[in-house]
Amino acid sequence: MKSKIYLILILMGLQGGMNAQNTEIMLWESGVPDAIHAVDYVEIHDIKLDRVSQVTEPTLTVFKPQNPNGTSVVIFPGGGYAFLAISKGGYAVAESFKSLGITAFVLKYRLPSDAIMKDKAIGPIQDAQEAIRYIRRNAEKWNLDADRIGVIGFSAGGHLASTLSTHYEDRVYNISDDTSAKPNFSILIYPVISMMDDITHKGSRNRLLGKSPSEERKIKFSNEKQVSATTPITFIVHALDDKVVVVENSIQYLQALQQYQVPAELHIYQNGGHGFGLGKVATSDSWRTQCEAWLRLNNLID
C-alpha cells in the first residue's frame, strides 16, 4: 500500500512540476483536421494509473534545458493506443533527455477512435507529422537545429514513431507550406512495429485498424515493410522476455534498416519484460546510458 501511495505522489509531483516549469502548446492552431465533434467524448486524466485517454485536443509540452544544444526530441508515450502513460512515458523521459541538453517535447496525441475522427488509422500520424512540422517551423524560437529533430516512442508510441519515420511523406492532412515532417533520428523502446498476424500486438492493431483489417492495411501499417533508404537513423531497445510486444518486432525492423543500409543499433536485453521505461532492476536498466552513447556517436549531443 505504501509503495502505491509513493508512486501516486511521484506522478503528482511530475505533473505539478511540469505545469509549473514547462509550456503546453495547442498543436492545431487552426483546428484538428477531419475531426468529428462528440459531446460525450471528454479527455480523462487518471493520475493514480498514470493514464490520459480520450484526447481531443493534442498538445506539445516543452521541456527546455538551461543550455540547449540544438537537438530536440518528440516523445510519444505508450499505452496500446488505448491511453497515454503520460508521466512515466512522457514527462519523466523528457526530464531525462533535458538533462543532456536536449529540448524535449511530449506529444499528447489523439488515440484512434471512430467517435472523433473520420479515419481513426491516421489520427495519431496526423498529430505526429504536425508535431515535427510545428517544431521545425519554430526551431529558431527555441534555439534548435531544424535538422536535428528526433522522435522517441514507447510500445504503441514506438509504433507511432516508426510510422512517422516511414510515412512522413504521406499526405494525411492539408498543409499550408512545404515543411518536412521527417524526423532526423528515431529512438524506439520495446516498440510495436508490425501489424502482421504472427508478431503484432493485437490490442494496438485492433484499436488502430479494427478487428478485421485487410491484408493491404496490415502491410501499410507494418513499418518493417515500409522502410526505405531515407528512413532515419534508429536506436532500438527491447527485452527478450517481453510477453506483451514480442522482440521480433524490433528484430524485423532492424533487418529492414540493414537491408537499406540505414545506420541503426539494437540492444536486446535478457530481462526487462515490457514497460521498463527509464529502467528497473534488470538487464534493461542500462538503455539510457547506451542511448546517450549512440547520440554522441551520431553528433546529436556533445
Read off the pLDDT of residues 160-180 as tens digits, 9 standing for 90 and up: 999 999 999 999 999 989 999
Average pLDDT over residues 290-296: 97
pLDDT band at 216 (very low <50, low <70, confident <90, very high): very high
Reported as a single tens digit per residue, the pLDDT across 236-292 is 999 999 999 999 999 999 999 999 999 999 999 999 999 888 776 677 778 999 999
Average pLDDT over residues 54-78: 97
Count how many Cα atoms sit within 13 Å of the Cα of residue 134 in the half-sphere of its side chain: 22
Q: Quickly count: other Cβ atoms within 10 Å of residue 223's Cβ.
A: 28
Distance CA 187, CA 238 (A): 11
Reported as a single tens digit per residue, the pLDDT across 89-109 is 999 999 999 999 999 999 999
CB 131 within 8 A of CB 90: no
pLDDT at 7 over 70: no
CB 115 within 8 A of CB 53: no
Mean pLDDT, rounded, of the chain: 92
Distance CA 55, CA 29 (A): 16
pLDDT at 8 over 60: no
Look at 28-42, 55-69, 190-204, 272-286 and tell me which has the smallest mean pLDDT: 272-286
Give the count of domains, the chain.
1
Give the CATH number for residue 98: 3.40.50.1820
Residue position matching grid coordinates 472523433 = 116
Look at 6-15, 24-33, 226-235, 246-255 and tell me which has the smallest mean pLDDT: 6-15
Instruction: Provide φ and ψ at 12, rounded to 5°.
Output: -65, -40
pLDDT at 2 over 60: no
Q: Quickly count: other Cβ atoms within 10 Å of residue 107's Cβ.
A: 29
Distance CA 175, CA 166 (A): 18
Range of the domain at 47: 2-297
DSSP state of 155: T
pLDDT band at 9 (very low <50, low <70, confident <90, very high): very low
* Residue 156 placed within a domain: yes
CB 288 within 8 A of CB 278: yes
Angle CA 66–72–77, to nearest 5: 110
Distance CA 193, CA 184 (A): 19
**What is the model's pLDDT at position 21?**
66
pLDDT at 62 over 90: yes
Distance CA 177, CA 191 (A): 31
Alpha-helical segments (H) within 81-187: 92-98, 123-137, 156-167
pLDDT above 90 covers a percentage of the chain that reads: 85
Average pLDDT over residues 4-20: 43
pLDDT at 233 over 60: yes
* Residue 291 placed within a domain: yes
Pairing of strands 23-26, 59-63: antiparallel
pLDDT at 10 over 60: no
CB 278 within 8 A of CB 92: yes
Considering only CA atoms, give the Rg of the chain. Answer: 18
Name the grid cell of 32.
Answer: 484538428
Reported as a single tens digit per residue, the pLDDT across 111-154 is 999 999 999 999 999 999 999 999 999 999 999 999 999 999 99
Average pLDDT over residues 28-51: 92
pLDDT at 3 over 50: no
CB 144 within 8 A of CB 103: yes
pLDDT above 70 covers a percentage of the chain that reads: 92
Instruction: Say which residues have a Cβ less than 8 Å from residue 171's Cβ, sequence separation at least 6.
Output: none
* Residue 302 placed within a domain: no
Residue position matching grid coordinates 538551461 = 66
* Residue 184 placed within a domain: yes
